[in-house]
Structure 1
Amino acid sequence: MVSMKKGSSFSGRSERSGSSGSHLKSASLPSSIQKGHLGRMSGKGTAQKKQVQRYASNEKDYIFWCMDCNVPLLENGCNTCGKEGKRIDLSQPADVRFCSPYERSVLHELLMAAFECDPLGDRIILLNKIPGDDKTDEILVDGLFFGIFRFDIQKMDYVFEPSVQGANILLENTTCKTVVLKKNSKHLNGKKVKYDLVESVSPDVRENDVVLVRSGNLTGFGISYCDAKDASSTDGPVLRVRKIDSQHVPLSSKVPVMDEVIAANVSYIRAIGKNAINTIKGIANQKEYKKLPVNVSFSGGKDSLVVLDLTLSALKNREVRAFFLNTGIEFPETTDFVSKYCSDNGVELIEKRAVSDFWDNVDTFGPPAKDFRWCCKICKLAPANTAIEECLEKAPTCITVDGKRRYESFSRANISTSEKNPFVPGQLNIFPIKDWKAIEVWLYIYWRKLEYNPLYDLGFERVGCYLCPAALSAEYKRLQVLHPELHDRWESFLVQWAKKNGLSEQFIEHGLWRWKELPPKMLKLCEEIGIPTSATASGSPFNVNITSGISPCKAGGYSIEASIHGLSMKRTMGVMNIIGSMVFSEELGLLMIKAEPSTVKIFSSGSLVVNSESKDAADKLFREVSRQLLKAHRCTGCGICIKACPVNAIELKDGCINVNDRCIRCGKCNDACVVLRYEGKLS
């Protein structure tokens, strides 16, 4: 029996947990469960009514802009001219970054194709990530919002839409895609306009084009309802004005370079760097850790690069090693960069790779998904455990410095400066740049003149596995250009998988394989394009199969292993507070429930491991976990359990039970549950 006690990424990708025991009543299960079968669910996917929040909310949702030096500022004061900057409020999550060379080239092509001009030229451009179906960014230039730059999943290509300020700038440089109106009124906003109010239409306007609109001293943009040649003969509206006003905001005459941006922010960059260094020193130099080696989780990405540099600066006389977990499906650029950077900088590189790789398992599990990250368990968890075990053989604590930032995703919003890994006793994680924005990371890199992964200049906002379901469709399209051999191998598998499961090639083309349960925005996309989703929405029958009986563990106690078919991690997480306190690693797809002294581990791949101090305790806990899984996956939404709860700890959320931290584990909701009452008759 293999012990599943250690189960986390060496990079310490985890969340905080509480600690409390389970006091559930013992309950017998029907014989079908003991034989390894636990009910069946109807299988109809439930569309979520609300969008899931993807990113943490940023309380500092603004930057500044020095209008004299024409550079972005991270604090209200320019180090170059000494003047205060103009405050720029950002849309959440406000994780603003510099426009990459590739993004700049795409934006240039879009502007030239539509308007035959590119007024941005070589200016400093910032991109601020905002919610959207795929890659979607606000464009900031010269302290102005120029427009929206996004990847359209329907067209599978980039599109640009100007803001009012952007339209004003473009109208100073072009007459293309332009409609001039007779009426001069601010009340045009949102209005549909007929041809009798049109003074002129440029001949290049086509139906559904984004067009520039001028009306007297007002400028803005809108959507055309017809081709220019048909405008005069159209009875209905020819244009819908999106937004128009009297703002006139010319671009600055000064075009700075990156060195000037660094100079204007140098005191701020030094300060945050010093604070991060002090954080590392303050923890790593504590008496109990002072003589231990320090490991940096080095993925080859920008955040881990900065953390490695900070750690080397903070602990000049300590042994600092870089750990690289090679999943086997990394970009060649990443593996080359990690190796070369460590070699060039005299850093010991410890590279770990799973014995069983992605391609050995993909036929069994199918493509990984945002909500089904089985690949992380196999490609990251196994080599991570090996690395941690080797570290703990030599020292009582494994210290890992990690570049995780809380603005990257909602699941990382509550990370602390340092955390003991709840999945692996003995591992201490330090997160010195947890509060940094992407622009701060990049300014530090430019200031320190650090060599970075070339993928960032080639169209990738994040660096990870080349077929990661968390990657954007825009990035997956770049894979096709940069590494056609890698793209074609994966695309070939996806097409065959879709065919076997009754799905169309369009389903693959638009990246819908990246979800096991399609979210509302993707279901809407499928409806608009006409892509059938019945095969993917139908799901698989829910059941729990015991794969091994109660066995002694190497680490002590006893364990039971099982496989869960038709698992929904969202539904599972909704009820497991009833068992004990939960810790979830989104990246690994691993949910751990602590019911002291027992633990339960549920992987998004469908693996279930229960560990307890005795055979009876392991058996009892497995039975109760199985019952909660059944309750969650067969929930009828009747709401009886809500009324039965004496502390109001239960609610129905998007058709799923959600038990919050107020749960006292009294078991009254189980007594009231219709599903559990008739569990012996479910098939």
Structure 2
Amino acid sequence: MEDISRRSTSQGQKSVTSNSSWKVNKDYIFWCRKCNIPLLDGQCGICHEKCPSIELTQPGDIRFSSRHEQNIINDLMSGSFGANPLAGKPVLLNKIPGEDKTDEIIVDGIRFGILRFDMKELVFRLDLMIEGALALIGSGIHKKLIRISSHGRHLSGKAIDGSEILECSDDIKSGDTVLLTGKNLAGFGISYRDSSELKNPGKSLRIKKIDSKKIAFLSKNPSLDDIVRANAPYMKNLVRDAVNTIRGIANQREFRDSPVYVSFSGGKDSLTTLDLTRSALRGQIKVFFANTGIEFPETVEFVRRFCRENNIDLTEVEAKEAFFENLPSFGPPAKDFRWCCKICKLAPINTVIEECTRGGRKCITIDGKRKYESFIRSRIAPKEENPFIPGQVSVFPIRNWRAIEVWLYLYYRGLEYNPLYDLGFERVGCWLCPAELSAEYYRFKELHPELFKRWNDYLLEWAGEHGLSDAFIEHGFWRWKTLPPKMKRLAEELNIDTTLKSKKEEFGISVTGGVSPCKTGGYTIEGRLTGLMPYEVLNIAGILGESIFSEDLGLLLIRRDNSSIKVFSSGHISVNARSKEDALSLFENTAKQSIRVKKCTKCGVCLKVCPVGAVSIEPQLRIKKDCIRCGKCIKSCVVVKYSDYTSPSFDTAPFFIP
């Protein structure tokens, strides 16, 4: 097979647009019907014919189906229709919006159906699309088949009376998806009755979609080598752009003497990035792997073995038990509450970057993030400076690649990849990650029942302490702090209460007196602090202002400009400022700093961002007198960022008196 990184473009071939001008979402692919091959460019690299495009539901991060997914499709097809005409064919899956794992099935250049994980029943379903139904009928499927007498193109969405059913197979049950044929028409629908009652008067089925088109499966089943070869001209340009991105940035004057690290998570994207970097740079590169302590065992083993067998210098930084040690303070992480990433990933990585950036040097990190992975990542630039780690510059050479392009690269290069992909996982990092789909979570249960039990038992106990049912955990609601509309609808349909009951905490801070005019001038707000003494607040007082502490009086006084904060040993807090807004802002800042003292995880991120070295975390968090109150440590603090979740009792809004 030809080297896709060297092969020249065929004469007359449609040119490939540079990565820099691509749309964020390429919502199409092409399909060569002659070779029956999915293409990323409009001209087949084998037969050189121009090929039609297929529109994809956005975001369009299409990929090859895994062995596990193929087995699921086979079981569903065989169970419903007695056969699986998709077997042996290249099946693509395009991720689309849904309650959980939801993929558009593309096969032989047609939109066959949708494979989805049903969050009510917690099982996979396959919903046909009209092209898939027509192809099944054309293939000679005779199970779940109904012939109707109705004709005309306006039957889609309509109910059919039993008197209009001419014949049906004897395997139909109420609720089944059925194939429909009629005079010059075919389609699919939902049966309201069993076969024995379908011809009785009354509504027997509802037609979902019906059409006069003829669609058939293609006869040729290409090999993986054929697919790679057909896409080689396109991939050549893609690889060249990625390699040039790495070389171009690494060779810039400010980075020429900088060490180059590759962030290797054990996933397909970082594996591709690692291989591209090794091809792009002649010098020795270093690879680091953040072992969070909750990585899939397969991922840890794969990273170590791959680097060992390929003579790669691997630095493995370990968080060890950091996740479970901090779990009592934060509770379970969520998609919108990912405290674990800073504590278990960013903090350990600091130890690597600290050596790299010593003496004010720059450190280049080659990263495999892609725009198609999430909305947040959709605007990543070719390079970014890390706001939390001064001196670290991240480069994203495959930011414009889709999953199918990553897989084509790995297949061509013959690279061993993480075995979890073939076992049905899209995410191969932390096994309890809230960003993991419920479909993957229950697949994880099958593969690692002991690890699953450890986490699920904790979740059930946590749910019980907060007045939530086991069903709240079972159906995956724990993965959000603020439920999205789709999960709110699901909760209503399942009649699951999602209201989190407050758990009595040893530590708390609350407003007791509201904002009111003070006789001596300005405005005052009163509050109460429990579980933290004035001498402990003194540790961070420097970031709030100049402080005086009287142990005899049990009073901490903090002054800044024309404002003051008083913290009494009784737990009473009094804040005075020139305006209502200033008083409320100062109280909120005092509250967040108190939370920071009480719940510091010692992740060390604040140490790196402080420009004057005024922060220490041993034996506990302390802000020294050198503090210039720039606020950088506050912005980087995971405890402050998620203070609304870690200390939900603190809510100033109801007490603001206009």
Question: Is TM-score (shorter-chain normalized) higher than 0.5?
Answer: yes
The residue identity in structure 2 corresponding to 1:382 is: A
TM-score by length of 1: 0.73
RMSD value over aligned CA atoms? 3.9
| Number of residues of Structure 1 aligned to a counterpart in Structure 2 | 546
Q: Which residue of 1 aligns with 2:245?
A: 279
Equivalent position to 2:422, from 439, 451, 457: 457
Q: Which residue of 1 aligns with 2:152?
A: 185
Q: How far apart are the structure 1 equivalents of 2:624 and 2:103? A: 46
| 1:119-158 alignment runs, 5 A limit | 119-158=85-124
Q: How far apart are the structure 2 equivalents of 1:92 and 1:413? A: 13
What do residues 154-175 of structure 1 show as CA deviations (whole Å, max 9, x unaligned)? 1111110111111112223322
The residue identity in structure 1 corresponding to 2:182 is: S
Q: Give how far 1:109 is off.
A: 0.5
What do residues 454-490 of structure 1 show as CA deviations (whole Å, max 9, x unaligned)? 0000000122200100000110111111111111111
Q: Contact 1:119–1:169 at 8 Å: present in 2 too?
A: no
The residue identity in structure 1 corresponding to 2:85 is: P
Equivalent position to 1:212, from 170, 176, 179: 179
The question of 1:174 aligning with 2:126 is answered no
- Taking a change above 3 Å as real, the CA distance of residues 365 and 448 of structure 1, as seen in their structure-2 partners, is same
The residue identity in structure 2 corresponding to 1:497 is: W
The question of 1:256 aligning with 2:222 is answered yes
Q: Give how far 1:551 is off.
A: 4.3
| 1:267-306 alignment runs, 5 A limit | 267-306=233-272
Q: Give how far 1:523 is off.
A: 1.7
The question of 1:471 aligning with 2:436 is answered yes
The residue identity in structure 1 corresponding to 2:657 is: Y
Higher mean alpha-carbon deviation, 293-302 vs 245-254, is at 245-254
Q: How far apart are the structure 1 equivalents of 2:198 and 2:605? A: 59
Q: Which residue of 1 aligns with 2:193?
A: 226
% same residue: 47
Q: Aligned to 1:521, what secondary structure does the other structure show? A: helix
The residue identity in structure 1 corresponding to 2:116 is: R
Return the index of the structure with the highest Cα Rg: 2
Q: Which residue of 1 aligns with 2:338?
A: 373
Q: Give how far 1:343 is off.
A: 0.7
Q: How far apart are the structure 2 equivalents of 1:538 and 1:83? A: 66
Q: Contact 1:111–1:118 at 8 Å: present in 2 too?
A: yes
Q: Contact 1:97–1:127 at 8 Å: present in 2 too?
A: yes
- Taking a change above 3 Å as real, the CA distance of residues 610 and 173 of structure 1, as seen in their structure-2 partners, is farther
The residue identity in structure 1 corresponding to 2:91 is: I
Q: Aligned to 2:422, what secondary structure does the other structure show? A: helix
The residue identity in structure 2 corresponding to 1:271 is: N
What do residues 93-128 of structure 1 show as CA deviations (whole Å, max 9, x unaligned)? 001000111100110000000000100111111100
| 1:409-428 alignment runs, 5 A limit | 409-428=374-393
Higher mean alpha-carbon deviation, 222-231 vs 270-279, is at 222-231
| 1:43-54 alignment runs, 5 A limit | none
Q: Give how far 1:320 is off.
A: 0.5
The question of 1:339 aligning with 2:300 is answered no
Q: How far apart are the structure 2 equivalents of 1:194 and 1:510? A: 37
Q: Which residue of 1 aligns with 2:370?
A: 405
- Structure 1 unmatched ranges of 5 or more: 1-55, 563-574, 580-588, 602-607, 637-672
Q: Contact 2:32–2:44 at 8 Å: present in 1 too?
A: yes
Query: Which has the bigger relative contact order, CA under 8 A and spacing at least 6?
Result: 1
Q: Which residue of 2 aligns with 1:349?
A: 314
Q: Contact 2:104–2:113 at 8 Å: present in 1 too?
A: yes
Q: Give how far 1:144 is off.
A: 0.7
Q: Which residue of 2 aligns with 1:310?
A: 276
Q: Contact 2:177–2:188 at 8 Å: present in 1 too?
A: yes
- Taking a change above 3 Å as real, the CA distance of residues 417 and 537 of structure 1, as seen in their structure-2 partners, is farther
- Taking a change above 3 Å as real, the CA distance of residues 284 and 497 of structure 1, as seen in their structure-2 partners, is same
Q: Give how far 1:417 is off.
A: 0.3
Q: Aligned to 1:196, what secondary structure does the other structure show? A: helix
Q: Aligned to 1:465, what secondary structure does the other structure show? A: coil
Q: How far apart are the structure 2 equivalents of 1:511 and 1:677? A: 36
Q: Contact 1:222–1:239 at 8 Å: present in 2 too?
A: yes
- Taking a change above 3 Å as real, the CA distance of residues 80 and 239 of structure 1, as seen in their structure-2 partners, is same
Q: Aligned to 2:120, what secondary structure does the other structure show? A: coil
Q: How far apart are the structure 1 equivalents of 2:435 and 2:412? A: 30
Q: How far apart are the structure 2 equivalents of 1:515 and 1:590? A: 26
Higher mean alpha-carbon deviation, 127-136 vs 390-399, is at 390-399
Q: Give how far 1:512 is off.
A: 1.4
- Taking a change above 3 Å as real, the CA distance of residues 615 and 83 of structure 1, as seen in their structure-2 partners, is closer
Q: Give how far 1:525 is off.
A: 1.0
Q: How far apart are the structure 2 equivalents of 1:187 and 1:538? A: 57
Q: Aligned to 1:193, what secondary structure does the other structure show? A: strand
TM-score by length of 2: 0.76
The question of 1:265 aligning with 2:265 is answered no
What do residues 562-597 of structure 1 show as CA deviations (whole Å, max 9, x unaligned)? 9xxxxxxxxxxxx9xxx9xxxxxxxxx9999xx999
- Taking a change above 3 Å as real, the CA distance of residues 147 and 543 of structure 1, as seen in their structure-2 partners, is farther
Q: Give how far 1:356 is off.
A: 4.7
What do residues 293-325 of structure 1 show as CA deviations (whole Å, max 9, x unaligned)? 210000000000000000000012x12111100
Q: How far apart are the structure 1 equivalents of 2:324 and 2:183? A: 63
The residue identity in structure 2 corresponding to 1:226 is: R
Q: How far apart are the structure 2 equivalents of 1:218 and 1:68? A: 27
- Taking a change above 3 Å as real, the CA distance of residues 112 and 392 of structure 1, as seen in their structure-2 partners, is same
Q: Give how far 1:538 is off.
A: 11
Q: Give how far 1:539 is off.
A: 12
Q: How far apart are the structure 1 equivalents of 2:403 and 2:179? A: 32
The residue identity in structure 2 corresponding to 1:159 is: R
- Structure 2 unmatched ranges of 5 or more: 1-21, 512-528, 548-557, 561-566, 568-584, 590-602, 616-620
Equivalent position to 1:195, from 162, 176, 198: 162
- Taking a change above 3 Å as real, the CA distance of residues 474 and 294 of structure 1, as seen in their structure-2 partners, is same
Equivalent position to 2:128, from 154, 162, 177: 162
Q: Which residue of 1 aligns with 2:48?
A: 82
Q: Contact 1:517–1:537 at 8 Å: present in 2 too?
A: no
Q: Which residue of 2 aligns with 1:678?
A: 657
Q: Contact 1:325–1:380 at 8 Å: present in 2 too?
A: yes
Higher mean alpha-carbon deviation, 177-186 vs 337-346, is at 177-186
Q: How far apart are the structure 1 equivalents of 2:145 and 2:310? A: 54
- Taking a change above 3 Å as real, the CA distance of residues 489 and 426 of structure 1, as seen in their structure-2 partners, is same
- Taking a change above 3 Å as real, the CA distance of residues 141 and 352 of structure 1, as seen in their structure-2 partners, is same
Q: Aligned to 2:53, what secondary structure does the other structure show? A: strand
Q: Contact 1:516–1:536 at 8 Å: present in 2 too?
A: no
- Taking a change above 3 Å as real, the CA distance of residues 168 and 269 of structure 1, as seen in their structure-2 partners, is same
